[in-house]
Amino acid sequence: MNMAALLADVARRIPDNIAVLDGDREIRFSELFLSAKCMAGAMSNVYGVKPGDRVAIFLDNCSEFFEIIFAAWTIGACIVPINAKLHENEVFHILEDSGARICFTSFEKAATLHKLLENLDELEALIEIGGDAYAALYKASPATVQHARPEEPAWLFYTSGTTGKPKGAELSFRSLLFMTQCYYSDINLPVAGDTKLHAAPLSHGSGLYSLAHIFKGGCQRVLRGFTPSEIFAEIERHPNVTMFAAPTMITRLLNAPEAKKADLSNLQVLYFGGGPMYQSDLIRALELFGERLFHLFGQGESPMTISGFWPQHSDKNLRPEIGGRLTSCGIRRTGVDFRVVDEEGNEVTAGEIGEVITRSDCLMTGYWRNPEATKKAMPGGWLWTGDIGTYDDEGYLYLIDRSKDLIISGGTNIYPREIEDVLLTHPDISECSIVGRPHPVWGEEVVAFLVMKPDRICDTEALDQHIMSRIARFKRPKDYRILDNLPKNNYGKVVKTELRAILRKEED
């Protein structure tokens, strides 16, 4: 079970179809497979990469990403894609923790990484794309595709690390193939010539779902960044476009001036996940994109694949107390099981709140070189996601919050997401985030961090009334803080640990 063998099948069937389009560079399937085999030969014979060895990729979006991953898989190696925006200390941790044997990077990033080499015992080489060492890879004798057992590691997916150092979720060849088949079952069945648009990082969700398109002959259109005007232009230019977007990206598309006149007739699917999509933004997104939106819920430990659904098929009259089915993150994906359980692991009934756990062939094998964390996260073969949620009588899952973000005030659970949803319906607020602050009597109290819209002021009395007219009085924030921007990590998620640090610093 080797993903490179699936590329070989496509290259034999449609050798002249374009596999990757990156600026002016076109790579046909026959060229992609030949490059991968030659590069694999060099990795093995020149750099000593063996089956199971790790090959790191620290690059902005580029066509070389696809050459490298299939070259590594050809010889049974495991890829370690690294988000291109990470700090050098974070990159060092990932390279050290993964034990990567070689790392591919750019000229710009290499200057930073070279000084790390002497402290990385297992890293043999740093190869810069566009350099002589990279060009030499194409000239090596081609390797043959090695057999790989389904359980062998194929991709180390490093978590975002908002609460500590990132951990490497070990995704096997079985995990990636299951994820791909689930995409075909639940989202879309691409055909040769379809376009997969990559504006989000290839190191994460966008790159993971590229596999589903490559194996059906789709073209990977690589963009070097996210600009709404460019996205709309690319959708108009290419046939049958599919794209992954984080919720923050969709919000930027909605707010772009080009949105009003955008020709979206070529857009086939816009799937989103990786963070909360607030109801107000989702309603606007449905008005613009119509029946093209797919909402998925997954984690690095179960990539892209826990639950999902098409929001346009939801009934807003169901579950009106939480905004209708529109606020759901869907039903079980094909072949996936999830439950909502209490602290002892007992399944709760519909409407009750608990932690979401899941199991399927998509799950990670475990955290790389971290058996203690694996045991804690996957007792009994179930992944405890850390997400707090509930479900309805028809099996639709509703995420309420992250377990670590839960606020307990006076012995009562308060879920920040609920308050954030209400605040974002206020016309003066652009962004918000809710955290808990220690309180000597109540244990914790609610604090709201707000980003106001231009030329708007924070009227705390009006905000209190806005909240209390919609949810219980005890959930209202006891303090409102105004920021120019909310702190976010490289994936667009609000880093609440930084907000809590602001409050702790004031207490000290």
- What tokens does 283 get? 């309603």
Of 140 and 89, more confident: 140
Please compute the mean of the pLDDT values over residues 33-62 and round it to a whole number.
97
SS3 content of the chain, % helix, strand, coil (to 5): 35, 25, 40
What angle, rounded to 10 degrees, do the helices at 3-13 and 173-186 form? 50
- Residue 367 reports pLDDT greater than 50: yes
Alpha carbon distance 223, 78 (integer Å): 25
Is-contact 109 58, C-beta < 8 A? yes
Residue 318: pLDDT band by 50, 70, 90 thresholds?
very low
Give the dihedral of Cα atoms 283, 302, 335, 194; nearest 10 deg.
Answer: 60
Q: Which of 9-23, 105-119, 158-172 has the lowest mean pLDDT?
A: 158-172
Of 1 and 491, more confident: 1
Please compute the mean of the pLDDT values over residues 401-409 and round it to a whole number.
78
What residues does CATH 3.30.300.30 cover in the chain?
406-507
Please compute the mean of the pLDDT values over residues 467-485 and round it to a whole number.
90
Q: Which of 463, 475, 332, 321 is nearest to 409 (CA)?
A: 475
CATH of domain 1-148: 3.40.50.12780
**Which pLDDT value is given to residue 275?**
66
Residue 320: pLDDT band by 50, 70, 90 thresholds?
very low
Of 232 and 321, more confident: 232
Burial 158-185 (b: 16+ CB within 10 A, else e): bbbebeeebbbbbbbbbbbbbbbbbbee
**Which pLDDT value is given to residue 317?**
44
Q: Which of 48-62, 254-268, 382-396, 398-412 has the lowest mean pLDDT?
A: 398-412
Query: What's the mean per-residue pLDDT of the chain?
Result: 91
Burial 260-280 (b: 16+ CB within 10 A, else e): eebebeebbbbbbbbebbbbe
Maximum average pLDDT range among 257-261, 487-491, 501-505: 257-261
Reported as half-sphere exposure (CB side, CA atoms, 13 A), residue 41 has a value of 14
Q: Which of 172-176, 289-293, 318-322, 460-464 has the lowest mean pLDDT?
A: 318-322
Alpha carbon distance 347, 354 (integer Å): 8
- Residue 480 reports pLDDT greater than 80: yes
The amino acid present at 349, given as its one-letter code, is T
CB atoms under 10 Å from CB of 122, counted, come to 13
Strand ranges in 71-218 using DSSP code E only, listed in sequence order: 78-81, 102-105, 125-128, 153-158, 168-172, 195-198
Q: How is 205-247 classified by DSSP, letter by letter? A: HHHHTHHHHHTTT-EEEE-SS--HHHHHHHHHHSSSEEEEE-H
Q: Which of 237, 159, 251, 234 is nearest to 203 (CA)?
A: 159
Maximum average pLDDT range among 154-168, 216-230, 394-408: 216-230
The pairing of strands 54-58 and 78-81 is: parallel
Is-contact 45 141, C-beta < 8 A? yes
Spatial strand order of the sheet with 302-309 comes to 25-28, 18-22, 219-222, 195-198, 241-245, 267-272, 293-299, 302-309, 331-332
Q: How is 3-23 classified by DSSP, letter by letter? A: HHHHHHHHHHHSTTSEEEEET
Of 207 and 87, more confident: 207
Tens of pLDDT, residue by residue over 261-316, are 999 999 999 999 876 677 778 888 999 998 899 999 999 999 999 999 998 766 55
**Which pLDDT value is given to residue 319?**
46
Q: Which of 95-109, 187-201, 431-445 has the lowest mean pLDDT?
A: 431-445
Going by CATH, does the domain composed of 406-507 fall within 3.40.50.720? no
Please compute the mean of the pLDDT values over residues 98-117 and round it to a whole number.
91
Is-contact 458 452, C-beta < 8 A? yes
**Which pLDDT value is given to residue 160?**
62
Residues in the chain: 508
**Which pLDDT value is given to residue 279?**
76
Burial of 313 by CB count in 10 Å (0-12 exposed, 13-18 middle, 19+ buried)?
exposed
- Residue 24 reports pLDDT greater than 50: yes
pTM: 0.84
What residues does CATH 3.40.50.12780 cover in the chain?
1-148
Query: How large a percentage of the chain has pLDDT more than 90?
Result: 73
**Which pLDDT value is given to residue 315?**
59
Tens of pLDDT, residue by residue over 326-342, are 888 899 999 999 999 99
Residue 411: pLDDT band by 50, 70, 90 thresholds?
low
- What tokens does 267 get? 């857009």
Burial of 489 by CB count in 10 Å (0-12 exposed, 13-18 middle, 19+ buried)?
middle
Can you say whether the dihedral through the CA atoms of 330, 332, 333, 334 is positive or negative? negative
**Which pLDDT value is given to residue 202?**
96
